[in-house]
């Protein structure tokens, strides 16, 4: 009798894009292999990564090709997963299941502690849930970092026939992918977080607004919802709590909560003025909690382990862990879950492994396309909300993109402004016209016809956009551009007409 070896291979989109898909196809003909498609550990520089069980835990092979099968079956040259420094140095709490479980295996999820947060929530009731969150000091992970308990309390106290829970799975910031990983890799954690929220505020319906660029995520999540439904999880107090996945259509600003709600209603994804805030009047005018996927996914642990446990992690006003996502010209791109407080330098060295081969460091951008640029001299800034805010920067959704020596800063600045001009919803003047004017100025500079007055105008325009824009798209757009000019002035000046 031939023995069948269980091999673990990630089914995460990025793992597949890195070759896991091809690998799975190639090995599907091998009866001696039983491939288990799990979530990804997030060490993407190692993907496709194949693991097998050993008495000392999982052993892994990196950057595997189809030809590596005999090697793996023979068990040689594997690395114990536990000893991979990139993973070992992390504090995996929200992402504890990643690389371990099959995303749609509800029993595994439960076996590893899943649903106990919900159980607690059902037991202690709405007020206590919110108290627990207050103790935890959890702040929203979608960008604005608003205290979660506070928002929930507003929605809880609002009187209304209907209330909604909406998970923001638009993950628009380039350089971020942790929401996608959760949707694809641990979808029940998101659903559990949403159910806890629904329980806390008394909501009767849930939506997940998923960006269109994530077809795999939407598919997995829909399957997870069906499984949860079959397991009779989607009900509260005997009332059904249906959750629907709704896909976007390629608009970045639809990640902004009010534009998201417009889009969810099937309308133009244009930003609404606040107040009223969604927690008071959101979807179809009803109280609505819009929270980020990562935020929801963080909540089950808080309920099961207690708010104090969460508050013990991180720094003074940035509690818990943050999922940082490394990308660009870093050597080890991937997901890093650590408590707040490490410096950018530490993160890039300890986890990023330095620069990609052949690259020299130029700048790092934190917080997506609207995030500030940091030059080498500012790398000791700690990753936490308040220091970033003081520096005029944002942590955003935790995306960290590293640019190397080949980056043309003028072109990069133009790229940023062009992004805002392309993605502006067109509602408010500073962003609708200003972003195009900004792009045009940078194009002139790039073409060699810009003047020193143009740079001054760009600053004045940037200032106007920052304070006068209706939402953070126009309001943040100047930051990457102006920090590029600030830190690399020579590159701009060199292009000016004299």
Partner 1 sequence: MREQVKSVLARVRSKPPNILKALLALQERLGHVPTEAVSEIASALGVTTAQVAGVLSYYPDVRLTAPGRHLIRVCMGESCYANGCGRLLRELQDRLRVDVGETAAGGKFTLDTMSCAGNCAVSPTVMIDRDLYGRLLPSQLDTLLERYK
Partner 2 sequence: MKLEINGRPVLASSGDTIYGAAKKAGVAIPGLCSSDHLAPFGSCRLCLCEVEGQNGLPASCTTPVREGMVVRTESERLNRLRRNVVELYLSEQPAGDRAPESLQWLAKSLGLRQVRYPQFSHRLDVVDRSNPFFTFDNAACISCARCVRACDEIQGTHALTMLHRGFASRPAAGAASLTGEAAGFASSNCVSCGACVKECPTGALMEKTVAEQGLPERTVRTTCAYCGVGCAFDAGMRDGTVVNMVPADDGPSNQGHACMKGRFGWTYNYAPDRLRVPLLRQGNKWVEISWPDALDRIAHEWVRLKDTYGPDALATISSSRGTNEENYLFGKFMRCVVGSNHIDNCARVCHSATVTGMMDTIGASAATNSIQDLDVAKLILVVGANPTESHPVVGARIKQAMRRGATLIVIDPRRTELARLADLHLQMHPGTNVALLNGLGHILVKEGLIDRDFVRDRTQGFKEWVEVVESCTPETTSKATGVPAHLIAEAARRYATSGGSMAVHGLGMTEHRWGSHGVMALVNLALATGNLGKPGTGINPLRGQNNVQGASDVGCLPTYFAGYQPFDSPELAAAHLAVTGRPLPTARGMKTPDMWDAALAGTLKSLWIIGYDVAQTDPNLKKVHAALRNLEFLIVQDLFLSETAKLAHLVIPGASFLEKDGTFTNLERRIQRIRKAVEPPDGVLPDWQVVCEVSARMGYPMWYGHPSAIMDEIAQLAPMFAGVSYDRLEAPEGLQWPVPSKEHPGTSLMHERSFPKGKAQFVAVDYLPPGESPTETYPLVLITGRILQHYNCGAQTRRTGIMQVVDTDVLEIHASDAARLDLHEGEVVRLVSARGEARLPVMVSDRVQPGELFTSFHFPDTDLNVLLSSSADESSKCPEYKVSTVRIEKILPPETSSTPMHAMLIT
Ligand X SMILES: Cc1cc2nc3c(=O)[nH]c(=O)nc-3n(C[C@H](O)[C@H](O)[C@H](O)COP(=O)(O)O)c2cc1C
Give 355's strand partners. Answer: 330
CB closer to ligand FES out of 80 and 276: 276
Task: State which H helix or E strand residue 378 sits in.
Answer: none
Look up residue 225 and give its two tokens.
Answer: 């919802």
**φ, ψ for residue 51 (rounded to 5)?**
-125, 155
Q: Which of 122, 174, 379, 436 binds ligand FES (CB under 6 A)?
A: 174
What is the spatial distance between Cα 92 and Cα 88, in angstroms, rounded to a whole number? 9
Which member of 90, 120, 286, 292 binds ligand X (CB under 6 A)?
Answer: 292
Scanning 28-136, the segments in alpha helix (DSSP H) are 69-74, 85-88, 106-111, 116-124, 126-136
Q: Does 250 bind partner 1 (CB under 8 A)?
A: yes
Give the whole-angstrom CA distance, residue 167 versus residue 287: 14
387 binding partner (options partner 2, ligand FES, ligand SF4, none; Cβ < 5 to 8 Å by kind): ligand SF4
Q: How many Cα atoms occupy the beta-carbon half-sphere of 355 within 13 Å?
A: 14
If one asks whether residue 436 binds ligand FES (CB under 6 A), the answer comes out as no
Answer with the entry of ligand X, partner 1, ligand SF4, none that 114 interacts with (C-beta below 5 to 8 A by kind). none
Interface with ligand X, residue 262, by CB under 6 A: no
User: How many chain residues interact with ligand SF4 (CB under 6 A)?
Assistant: 23
Peptide bond just before 48 cis, omega within 30 deg: yes
Shortest distance (Å) from residue 475 CB to partner 2: 9
Exactly one of 31, 55, 70, 275 binds partner 2 (CB under 8 A); that residue is 275
Question: Distance between CA atoms of 427 and 160, rounded to whole angstroms?
Answer: 29
If one asks whether residue 168 binds partner 1 (CB under 8 A), the answer comes out as: no
Give the whole-angstrom CA distance, residue 411 versus residue 447.
10
Name the binder of 203 from partner 1, ligand FES, partner 2, none, CB < 5-8 A by kind: none
Instruction: Return the structure tokens found at 95.
Output: 């992402």
Least Å from the CB of residue 369 to partner 1: 6
- Helix or strand or coil: residue 4? coil
Cβ within 8 Å of residue 220, ≥6 positions away: 103, 104, 183, 184, 187
- If one asks whether residue 325 binds partner 1 (CB under 8 A), the answer comes out as yes
Pick the binder of partner 1 from 73, 84, 135, 174 (CB under 8 A).
Answer: 174
Does residue 168 interact with ligand X by CB under 6 A?
Answer: yes
Q: Does 44 bind partner 1 (CB under 8 A)?
A: yes
Select the binding partner of residue 175 from ligand FES, ligand X, ligand SF4, none (C-beta < 5 to 8 A, by kind).
ligand FES
Q: Is 347 in the site for ligand SF4 (CB under 6 A)?
A: no
Residue 448: count of CB within 10 angstroms of its CB: 10
Structure tokens at 444: 């002139």
- Rounded Cα distance between 295 and 278, Å, is 17
Compare residues 64 and 261 and give the one whose CB is closer to ligand X: 261
Give the Cα separation of 398 and 178 in Å (integer).
9
Sites for ligand SF4 among residues 358-387 (CB under 6 A): 382, 384, 386-387
Count the site residues for ligand FES by CB under 6 A: 2
The separation between the first and the last C-alpha atoms of the chain, rounded to the nearest angstrom, is: 82
Near ligand FES by CB under 6 A: residue from 48, 99, 142, 175 = 175
Q: Decide: is 393 part of the binding site for ligand SF4 (CB under 6 A).
A: no
Chosen residue from 191, 290, 326, 409 binding ligand X by CB under 6 A: 290
Q: Is position 295 an interface residue for ligand X (rule: CB under 6 A)?
A: yes
Half-sphere exposure of 319 (CA within 13 A, CB side): 21
Interface residue with partner 2 among 270, 302, 393, 412 (CB under 8 A) is: 270
Which entry of partner 2, ligand X, ligand FES, none binds 168, CB below 5 to 8 A by partner kind?
A: ligand X
Element (DSSP H or E) covering residue 246: strand 243-247
Query: Which residue in the set 424, 454, 461, 462 belongs to the binding site for ligand SF4 (CB under 6 A)?
Result: 424
- N residues, the chain: 498
What is the Cα–Cα distance from 351 to 302, expressed in whole angstroms?
Answer: 26
Site string for partner 1, 210-239 (x = CB under 8 A): --xxxx-x----------------------
Closer residue to partner 1 (CB): 415 or 437 = 415
User: What are the beta bridge partners of residue 33?
Assistant: 5
What is the three-state SS of 380-437? CCECCHHHHHHCCCCCCCCEEEEEECCCCHHHHHHHHHHHHHHHCCCCCHHHHCHHHH
Q: How far is the CB of 273 from ligand X (least distance, A)?
A: 13
Cβ contact 362:403 at 8 Å: yes
DSSP of 138-169, one letter per residue?
A: -B-SSSS--BHHHHHHHHHHS--S--EEEEEE
Residue placing its CB nearer to ligand FES in the complex, 172 or 314: 172
**Minimum distance between the CB of residue 97 and ligand X, rounded to whole angstroms?**
20
Q: Please report, as ranges, the residues that interact with ligand X according to CB under 6 A.
A: 140-144, 146, 168, 170-172, 253, 255-257, 290-292, 295, 471-473
Q: Please report, as ranges, the residues that interact with partner 1 according to CB under 8 A.
A: 13-14, 16-18, 42, 44-45, 47, 171-177, 179-180, 212-215, 217, 246-252, 263, 265-270, 284, 325-329, 333-335, 365, 368-369, 399, 401-404, 407, 412, 415, 419, 423
Q: Please report, as ranges, the residues that interact with ligand FES according to CB under 6 A.
A: 174-175
Q: Please report, as ranges, the residues that interact with ligand SF4 according to CB under 6 A.
A: 253, 271, 315-318, 341, 382, 384, 386-387, 424-428, 431-432, 469-471, 473-474
């Amino acid at each position: 009798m031939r023995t069948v070896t269980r091999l673990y291979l990630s089914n995460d989109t990025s793992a597949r894009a890195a070759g896991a898909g091809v690998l799975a196809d190639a090995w599907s003909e091998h009866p001696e292999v039983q491939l288990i498609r799990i979530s990804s550990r997030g060490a993407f520089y190692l993907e496709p990564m194949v693991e097998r069980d050993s008495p000392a835990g999982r052993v892994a092979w990196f950057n595997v090709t189809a030809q590596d099968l005999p090697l793996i079956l023979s068990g040689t040259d594997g690395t114990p997963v536990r000893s991979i420094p990139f993973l070992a140095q992390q504090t995996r709490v929200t992402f504890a299941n990643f690389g371990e479980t099959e995303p749609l295996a509800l029993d595994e999820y439960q076996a590893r502690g899943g649903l106990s947060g919900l159980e607690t929530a059902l037991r202690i009731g709405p007020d206590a849930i919110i108290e627990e969150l207050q103790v935890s000091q959890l702040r929203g992970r979608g960008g604005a970092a608003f205290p979660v308990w506070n928002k929930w309390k507003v929605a809880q106290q609002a009187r209304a026939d209907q209330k909604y829970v909406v998970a923001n799975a638009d993950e628009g910031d380039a350089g971020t992918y942790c929401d996608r990983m959760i949707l694809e890799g641990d979808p029940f954690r998101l659903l559990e977080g949403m159910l806890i929220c629904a329980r806390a505020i008394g909501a009767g319906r849930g939506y997940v607004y998923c960006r269109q660029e994530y077809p795999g995520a939407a598919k997995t999540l829909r399957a997870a919802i069906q499984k949860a439904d079959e397991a009779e999880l989607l009900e509260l107090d005997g009332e059904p709590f249906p959750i629907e996945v709704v896909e976007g259509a390629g608009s970045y600003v639809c990640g902004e909560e009010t534009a998201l709600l417009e889009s969810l209603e099937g309308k133009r994804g244009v930003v609404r003025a606040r107040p009223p805030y969604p927690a008071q009047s959101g979807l179809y005018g009803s109280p609505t909690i819009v929270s980020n996927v990562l935020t929801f996914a963080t909540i089950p642990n808080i309920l099961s382990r207690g708010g104090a446990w969460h508050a013990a992690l991180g720094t003074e006003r940035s509690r818990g862990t943050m999922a940082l996502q490394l990308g660009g010209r870093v050597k080890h791109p991937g997901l890093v879950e650590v408590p707040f407080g490490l410096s950018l330098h530490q993160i890039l060295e300890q986890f990023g492994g330095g620069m990609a081969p052949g690259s020299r460091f130029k700048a790092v951008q934190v917080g997506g396309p609207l995030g500030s640029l940091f030059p080498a001299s500012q790398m000791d800034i700690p990753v936490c909300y308040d220091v970033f805010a003081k520096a005029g920067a944002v942590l955003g959704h935790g995306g960290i993109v590293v640019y190397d020596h080949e980056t043309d800063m003028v072109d990069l600045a133009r790229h940023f402004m062009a992004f805002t001009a392309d993605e502006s919803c067109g509602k408010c003047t500073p962003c609708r016209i200003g972003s195009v004017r900004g792009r045009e100025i940078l194009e002139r500079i790039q073409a060699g016809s810009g003047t020193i007055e143009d740079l001054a105008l760009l600053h004045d325009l940037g200032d106007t956009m920052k304070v006068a824009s209706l939402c953070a798209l126009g309001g943040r757009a100047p930051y990457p551009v102006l920090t590029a000019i600030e830190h690399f002035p020579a590159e701009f000046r060199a292009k000016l007409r004299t």
